[in-house]
Amino acid sequence: MSVPPRPADARRPHAFRASGRYSALRLLREALGGHQGWRRAWRKADPRKEYQVVIVGGGGHGLATAYYLANHFGITDVAVLEKGPIGLGNVGRNTTIIRSTYYRPENIRFYDHSLRLWEGLEQELNFNAMVSQRGVVYTYHTDGQRDHMTRRANDMRLAGADCVELDRAALKALIPGISLDSGRFPVLGAFMQPRGGTVRHDAVAWGYARGASEAGVDIIEHCEVTGLRQANGRVTGVETSRGFIGAGTVCLAVAGHSSHLAGMAGIRLPIETHALQAFVSESIKPFLDVVLMFGAGHFYISQSDKGGMVFGGAIDAHNTYAQRGTQWIAQEVAAEGVALLPALARLRILRQWAGVMDMTMDGTPIISKLPLDGLVMNGGWCYGGFKAIPAGGHTAAHLIAHGEAHPLTAHMDVGRFAAGLTVDEPGTGPFPWAH
């Protein structure tokens, strides 16, 4: 498979690091000094009066956008405003899967761009985010499903991504614990994207924060944006819990809170906020070596490097901003899990939580100018924006720096809804709760 070159605008990141370079040697040196020599991974900045670019939201996309602006587009007069501590939103509570298994070719190209960025990210950031290309496996249970996944696999291959089909024997060899025939929906086979996998979620936020901070970006925590100020049809800055901050461009990267922020400018987005739950089990010795998705339900699962099984299921149907799990979804998820991997019946689930996501009406994200000059957004990520963090940050930075969409995100413009050019991945129509 030919892997296209990295983006042309990529350049070597700053060599100077306030926190120092991370390496095995440094670790050894610090160990000898009782680890007293470590410095803050990112500066704790206080807000200045004004920035060229203010990014609202210190999640994956906000931090990545800032990182790429500063390191790839030369715009360093940037602040990231985060209402709490960075990285505790969805980037810090998702099930960490990366892949480019999408049905729409334009989405495949975008997410595969992201995969390629993941592939060199740790070296670029000098931060081990444990990008683990262990493979993502989807079971199928009917011929119709197989045909549908075949089309996806073919589209992926045409776009330069990777995808293979596994017969039952190969699937069983890869995942000995899988139940092929004993369940309600026998498994006929599977598809796998070998380059898909997982990434250590927290490390993504911290790594980008460190990289952005060292290039001069101010990362301002505990700074909640409470209003958008505008003059003459143009955004001029943001009201925050720490005072007004002027800005030439404001980029919203607040995930589940997108409607709330856009609402401050009187803009109604085609977005509903829903919760997706996640679960982690107790740590066990290696049990599952790939990411596994259940084709006859919503269950999906992988094992973290720490040994916990990380898994989830369907979204909560109703609009919610509560980051908590519900009781009955847990039952559904567990039942599907046991149906697929019966040994799980004896495994104990440690924790259950939820994240609030910006579900767009067509399931495709929005990287777009909004109808107020100087206001752009990087959001609408639904339940799949973690994998998109490098590409989302990179293309949003492109939009901010060049004033026009990156070619890979042309289809993510917010105007698509009025024009009838929606990119409805699931095909369920404008009903986010059914996605």
Partner 1 sequence: MSGPRRITTGLLTDASRPVEFSFDGRRVRGLHGDTVASALLADGVRLVGRSFKYHRPRGIVTAGHEEPCALVDIQSADGPAPNRPATIVEIVDGLEVVSQNRWPSLSFDLMAVNGLFAPLFSAGFYYKTFMRPAWAWERIFEPAIRRAAGLGVLDRAERGQQTTQPHTEEPLHDHTDVLIIGAGAAGLAAARRLAGSGVRVMLLERDVVAGGGTLLDPRWAAWRTAALEDIATDARLRVLTRTQVIGAYDHGVFAAVEALPPSAQGGGAAASPRERLRVIRTRRVLLATGANERWIACSGNDRPGVMLAGAALAYLRRYGVAVAERPVLFANNDWAYESAVALHEAGVRIAAIIDPRPASAAAARATAVGITVHHGAMVTAIEGRREVRTVQVARSDGQALTTIQTDGVLLSGGHQPESALATQAGGSLQWREDLAAFAAVLPDRLGATAGAVAGSFGLATAARDGEATAARIAAALASTRTPDTRARSGTSPTDAPPADPETSPLLALWEVPGRGKAFVDLQHDVTVEDIRQAHREGYTHIEHAKRYSTHGMATDQGRIGGLLGAAVLAAARGQTLPEVGLPTPRPYIHPTTFGALAGGEVGEHLRPVRKFPAHASHVALDATFVPAGLWLRPLVYSQTTGWEPVLRESRAVREAVGVGDASSLGKVDVQGPDAARFLDYIYANRFSTLAVGKARYGIMLREDGCLLDDGTTSRLGERHFLLTTTTANHTAVLEHLEFQSQVVHPEWDVQLTDVTDQWAQFSIAGPRARDLLQRVMPGQDLSNTAVPFMAALPAHIAGVRGRLFRISFSGELAYEVAVPSDRADEVWNALLEAGRPLGVLPYGVDALNTLRIEKGHVTTAELDGNTTAHDLGFERMLKADGDYVGRVLARRPGLTSSTRRQLVGLRPTRKDAKLVAGAILVDPAAPKVNIGDVTSCTPSVLVEGWVGLGLLAGGRGRIGSRLLAVSPLHGESTEVEIITPHWFDPENARVRA
Partner 2 sequence: MLRITCPHCGVRDEVEFRYRGDASVQRPTADADATAFVAYVYERDNPRGWHHEWWYHAAGCRQYLQLWRHTVTHTIHAVGTATDTLTPPHGMVDR
Among 163, 205, 235, 310, binds ligand FMN (CB under 6 A): 310
Among 65, 96, 101, 378, binds ligand FMN (CB under 6 A): 96
Among 351, 402, 403, 434, binds ligand FMN (CB under 6 A): 351
Choosing among partner 2, ligand FMN, ligand FAD, none, which partner's interface includes residue 361 (Cβ < 5 to 8 Å by kind)?
partner 2
Nearer to ligand FAD, 96 or 303 (CB): 96
Among 119, 224, 239, 413, binds partner 1 (CB under 8 A): 119
Choosing among partner 1, partner 2, ligand FMN, none, which partner's interface includes residue 272 (Cβ < 5 to 8 Å by kind)?
partner 2
Choosing among partner 2, ligand FAD, ligand FMN, none, which partner's interface includes residue 122 (Cβ < 5 to 8 Å by kind)?
none
Choosing among partner 2, ligand FAD, partner 1, none, which partner's interface includes residue 10 (Cβ < 5 to 8 Å by kind)?
none
Cβ proximity of 395 and 409 under 8 Å: yes
Burial class of residue 151, CB neighbours in 10 A (0-12, 13-18, 19+): exposed
**Residue range at the interface with partner 2 (CB under 8 A); choices 20-28, 192-200, 232-240, 320-328:** 320-328
Give CA separation, 146 vs 11, 100, 414, in Å.
42, 18, 33
What are φ and ψ of residue 315, in 5° steps? -80, 160
Residue bearing tokens 């609408």: 380
Subset of residues 205 to 234 that bind ligand FAD, contact rule: CB under 6 A: 224-225
Q: Does 328 bind partner 2 (CB under 8 A)?
A: yes
**Residue range at the interface with partner 1 (CB under 8 A); choices 5-13, 46-54, 59-67, 138-146:** 138-146
DSSP state, 373? B
Q: Does 433 bind partner 2 (CB under 8 A)?
A: yes
Ranges of beta strands (E only) in 15-93 are: 50-56, 78-81
Give CA separation, 310 vs 67, 95, 96, 277, 355, in Å.
28, 6, 9, 11, 14
Q: Please, which residues have CB within 8 angstroms of residue 73's CB and are 6 or more apart in sequence?
A: 9, 397, 398, 400, 401
Cβ proximity of 305 and 130 under 8 Å: yes
DSSP, collapsed to helix, strand or coil, labels residue 89 as coil
Choosing among ligand FMN, partner 1, partner 2, none, which partner's interface includes residue 96 (Cβ < 5 to 8 Å by kind)?
ligand FMN
Give CA separation, 129 vs 8, 122, 174, 201, 219, in Å.
23, 6, 25, 8, 20
Cα distance between residue 258 and residue 426, in whole Å: 22
Q: Does 241 bind partner 1 (CB under 8 A)?
A: no
Nearer to ligand FAD, 83 or 411 (CB): 83
Q: Does 421 bind partner 2 (CB under 8 A)?
A: no
Give CA separation, 209 vs 111, 212, 213, 220, in Å.
22, 5, 6, 11
CB of 123 to ligand FMN, least distance (A): 22
CB of 60 to ligand FAD, least distance (A): 3
Nearer to partner 2, 259 or 304 (CB): 259
Cα distance between residue 343 and residue 317, in whole Å: 29
Cβ proximity of 228 and 250 under 8 Å: yes
Residues that bind ligand FAD (CB under 6 A): 56-62, 81-84, 89-91, 93-97, 224-225, 253-255, 257, 261, 276-278, 312, 355, 357, 381, 383-387
